[in-house]
Amino acid sequence: MNTEARKKLIEIVKKTRGTMSQRGFAKLLGVSTTAVQSWERGDSVPDTENLAKIAARASYSLEQLLAYLDGKSLPENSEFSTILKQIKYMPLSQVAQIAQAAAERFASVAEASGDEAKAS
């Protein structure tokens, strides 16, 4: 892998990890913390399986990630797909809070619709 591709890979790994610790990210991927540190320094490259996991967490296919590393541009992620990606990897307690907020919103819309129907 050439130097430019390594720099792009380092950027993708760090961006995908976000605010998660290297240890937490490593655990999520099923690798050692040392492996993540090595990827972020550019000392080594994830194997295909881990590249696919990283691509998926970044909302890309493995093919899109490899094309990016080869010099092509990445497709734009919509805000919606970014939110879905984040929810997919959140702790269940946080997902439950989101679900509760959504249920409350649905209930308020249903109540408002019912009030409108009564008024007619």
What pLDDT is attached to residue 48? 94
**Cβ-Cβ contacts under 8 Å for 37 (sequence gap 6 or more):** 22
88 vs 9, which has greater pLDDT? 9
Class of domain 3-76: mainly alpha
Q: Which residues contact 70 (CB under 8 A, 6 or more apart)?
A: 5
**pLDDT digit string, tens, across residues 46-71:** 999 999 999 988 888 899 999 999 99
In the chain, domain spans: 3-76, 90-120
User: Residue 89: which residues within 8 A CB-CB, separation 6 or more?
Assistant: 28, 57
